[in-house]
Amino acid sequence: WPSLLFECDQPLTFSAERVLNGAAWVFVGPMNEFSPEFAAAFAVTNLDDLPASARRVAIPASANQTDIFALTASQHFYAVDGGFCTYEITRATPRPALGGKRQLIAAPDALLADTADWTTFYPQPDGDVHLVLDFGKETIGYFEFDLDAPAGTILDGSGFEGIDDGGIFWTMNTRNSFRYVCREGRQVFRSHERRGFRYLSLTLRDFARPVRIRHISNYMATYPVAQVGHFACSDETLTKIWEVGAYTVRLCMLDTYVDCPTYEQVYWVGDARNSALVNAVAFGAYDLTDRCVRLTGQSLSPELKRVKPPYLEELRTHLPTSHVVSGWFDEIPMWNFLWVWQAWEAYMAAGDRAALADYYVDVRESLVRAEGFLSARDLFDIPEVWNLVDWAAQDLERDGEVISNTVLMAQALDCAALMAEELGKPEEVAAHRGLAARLRAAVNLYGWSDEYQGYVDTVRDETGYATFKTRREAAGIPIEPYVEYLKKIRISEPTNTLALLCNSVPPERVDAVMRLVLAAKQGKFIGSSPWMARFGKTEEIVPVGSPWFLFFTLEALFQAGHSDDALQLLREQWNRMLEKGATTFWETFPGHIGGGHWSRSLCHGWSAAPAYFLSAKVLGVTPAAPGYSRVRIAPQPWNLRWARGTVPTPRGPVSVAWQLDEDGKLQIEYQAPEGCEVEVAV
């Protein structure tokens, strides 16, 4: 929502009466963001110049509300003798000192515990009282406070995640702020809004007598799970990385998997695939994964026409939406294909054959729809979607023959073939595998660059340009010259990593592609977005941009037998966050957003890859048959002396402990539930 903060010495009012009666503000819309009407409305500098056809809605002055976040984040903070402030805050954002000894606060530690003791705050003649509470680590839930205050006392609260090189990193554009107005006397209040945070900024305003606070607490609220899974090893850093990864995903498990506890709190379909793999080794909450797989399939329902924007309905049929349940119909093809992978992985973990039959109905439908977007040369090309792969400056516009989407679809077809085989549908098995082979052949025929020895992000040649021109002409968009069109060609680490992971690289090209995959070991990640691709050059390899994509880098390395490289990468890069005090793993690596801040979201389930790989690869426990009816134990010791841990299964926990003896031989002990067949590979 729009927020404007004014600080004035005189009364301030707003009026749009000359446009609509009773209006302080005018809302214009909704409009199709791709329409000329939208462009015209966006360009006006005067209300009188709004397009005549645009719908107008009057917003009265009574709708104006104080924006507590804007008020809190912009207020001036001072340090006083009698108060105190942590070094982490004053180092980055020094607070001017006010002279004179003051009685500001008594017994500050009392409010940190649910005891009979009280913290007392004293009113000040020239300002409000501000405090910051550190809950010790990232969490999610509902604030509760028990206090005694005079009537009319205001508590302005704002939850935020981090204090970093830029100072307090206020959590913007969320519902993470609140205002509580006190009644007289003692009162207990628990907030109604679930919030993700580590710190609470609390400003006390308008109190004439001391305010006493007995305690401020948080009622943590996540999907109800027990941490059945565990991991520990001879490297304390790796042990800590596993714990933080598992905890990160726990905070991203609500009624669905969500991207993060603080910002959207939304079930992004692609993020959920990676979170589900971590859940499987840490918590074993298979029912949550089942719910999410089913919800995504339901987004294919024709009933969505009731809420789908008409222009999109006219444009094309839809794939599963990028996040569910949602009224925003911007699809991410990669998310669709990862959901297919997730459906098969959910069956391997839980072994629910009836659920698999349900999943397959939706999976098959989604792949039929996807097939309709193959170009004449068997490359995936869907108009008007968000072709996101990573926070990287890849050549990924809203259409075009995208190589990463094509190889992801090929791998999704392989998963569909496994489902069909399990369900006894041999003709569909052959159809899925046949189409996957066609896609991989097309990728190698059209997507490979001999000049740059790698796969391009989007195929740009005369055939692609013809389609590009046709679409731009139909939309009335200016058409760039062919030479400019070719300048957009980019070679990226993410696209080439996916090509390798999705079994699309022939033997003679593996070394060249592996060079691009292993480049991630250098740790030179540049967080960006496809919008920034215009500033790059074809000869500059686009690097990985986020911990999210390193999940696939690690998968590709383990799959190709480069386990040592994978584990070195894992330890070095996730430890970068631990070294800065991370209690959960971040959406991006340090430095992505600038301004001295390390990342936007400091808790993102898509960044929790190590928890999965340490359990599945180092401890070595994976399902070798659906539902862990057969368990495979195949440790990869790297340079560790020992490791031990537990992986939950539907049949009960599997515990493994291994160590290297003095002769360098691997000694393994394990316990598995009755009825589990166990295979051990050393």
| Per-residue pLDDT, 333 | 97
Q: Exposure of 508 by Cβ count < 10 A (0-12 exposed, 13-18 middle, 19+ buried)? A: exposed
| Per-residue pLDDT, 12 | 87
The rounded percent of the chain whose pLDDT value lies above 70 is 99
CB atoms within 10 A of CB 362: 21
pLDDT by residue (tens digit) across 462-493? Answer: 999 999 999 999 888 899 999 999 999 999 99
- Cα 383 to Cα 373: distance, rounded to the nearest angstrom: 9
Both tokens of 668, joined, read 């393994």
| Per-residue pLDDT, 2 | 66
Mean pLDDT, range 430-445, rounded to an integer? 98
Both tokens of 8, joined, read 């004035």
pLDDT by residue (tens digit) across 71-83? Answer: 999 898 998 887 7
| pLDDT band at 594; cut points 50, 70, 90 | low
| Per-residue pLDDT, 6 | 80
| Per-residue pLDDT, 93 | 78
Give alpha helix (H) positions in 379-425. 403-422
Q: What are the start-end ranges of the E strands in 553-661? A: 621-623, 630-633, 642-647, 654-660
Which helix (H) or strand (E) segment holds residue 8: the answer is none
Answer left, alpha or beta for residue 586, where phi above 0 means left and psi between -120 and 50 means alpha. beta
Mean pLDDT, range 141-149, rounded to an integer? 97
- Report helix angle 286-298 to 333-350, nearest 10: 140
For residue 109, the one-letter residue type is D
Which helix (H) or strand (E) segment holds residue 365: the answer is helix 353-371
Helices (H) and strands (E) in the chain, counts: 18, 23
Q: What are the start-end ranges of the E strands in 342-438? A: none
pLDDT by residue (tens digit) across 195-215? Answer: 999 999 999 999 999 999 999
- Cα 605 to Cα 273: distance, rounded to the nearest angstrom: 10
- Cα 393 to Cα 536: distance, rounded to the nearest angstrom: 8
Verify cis geometry, omega within 30 degrees of 0, for the bond prior to 648: no
- Cα 485 to Cα 400: distance, rounded to the nearest angstrom: 12
Distances in whole angstroms, Cα of residue 343 to Cα of each of 272, 277, 337: 11, 11, 10
| Per-residue pLDDT, 592 | 60
| Per-residue pLDDT, 545 | 94
- Cα 515 to Cα 510: distance, rounded to the nearest angstrom: 9
- Cα 416 to Cα 435: distance, rounded to the nearest angstrom: 11
If you ran DSSP here, which 8-state letter would residue 541 be given? P
The rounded percent of the chain whose pLDDT value lies above 90 is 77
- Cα 347 to Cα 627: distance, rounded to the nearest angstrom: 7
Q: Give the residue, 126 or 93, on which the prediction is more confident.
A: 126
Nearest Cα residue to 489 out of 465, 466, 505, 471: 465
Is the alpha carbon torsion for 316, 319, 321, 322 positive or negative? negative
pLDDT by residue (tens digit) across 163-199? Answer: 988 888 999 888 899 999 999 999 999 999 999 999 9
| Per-residue pLDDT, 90 | 80
| Per-residue pLDDT, 304 | 82
pLDDT(1) > 70: no
pLDDT(312) > 60: yes
The whole-chain average pLDDT of the chain stands at 93
Distances in whole angstroms, Cα of residue 3 to Cα of each of 65, 69, 71: 9, 10, 10
Q: Give the residue, 528 or 438, on which the prediction is more confident.
A: 438
pLDDT(54) > 90: no
pLDDT(87) > 90: no
Verify cis geometry, omega within 30 degrees of 0, for the bond prior to 281: no
Question: Which string of DSSP letters, residue by residue, matches 255-303?
Answer: SSB-S-SSS----BHHHHHHHHHHHHHHT--HHHHHHHHHHHHHTT-GG
Residue 215: phi, psi to the nearest 5?
Answer: -165, 155
pLDDT(342) > 60: yes
Q: Which residues, including other chains, have CB under 8 Å from residue 58's CB and lie 6 or more apart?
A: 16, 20, 21, 22, 23, 25, 26
Both tokens of 676, joined, read 């589990």
pLDDT by residue (tens digit) across 228-244? Answer: 999 999 999 999 999 99
Query: Do 645 and 243 touch, CB atoms closer than 8 A?
Result: no
Question: For 441-461, what is the HEC assignment?
Answer: HHHHHHCEECCCCEEECECCC
- Cα 584 to Cα 607: distance, rounded to the nearest angstrom: 9
Nearest Cα residue to 488 out of 533, 544, 532: 533
- The model's pTM is 0.94
| Per-residue pLDDT, 243 | 98
For residue 459, the one-letter residue type is V
Nearest Cα residue to 605 out of 279, 289, 137: 279
Verify cis geometry, omega within 30 degrees of 0, for the bond prior to 325: yes
Query: Do 670 and 656 touch, CB atoms closer than 8 A?
Result: yes
| Per-residue pLDDT, 591 | 64
Q: Largest Cα–Cα distance in the chain?
A: 88
Question: For 544-560, what is the HEC assignment?
Answer: CCCHHHHHHHHHHHHHC
Question: Hey, is 636 helix, strand or coil?
Answer: coil
If you ran DSSP here, which 8-state letter would residue 96 be given? P
Query: Do 499 and 513 touch, CB atoms closer than 8 A?
Result: yes
pLDDT(326) > 80: no
Query: Do 7 and 66 touch, CB atoms closer than 8 A?
Result: no
Q: Give the residue, 425 or 44, on which the prediction is more confident.
A: 425
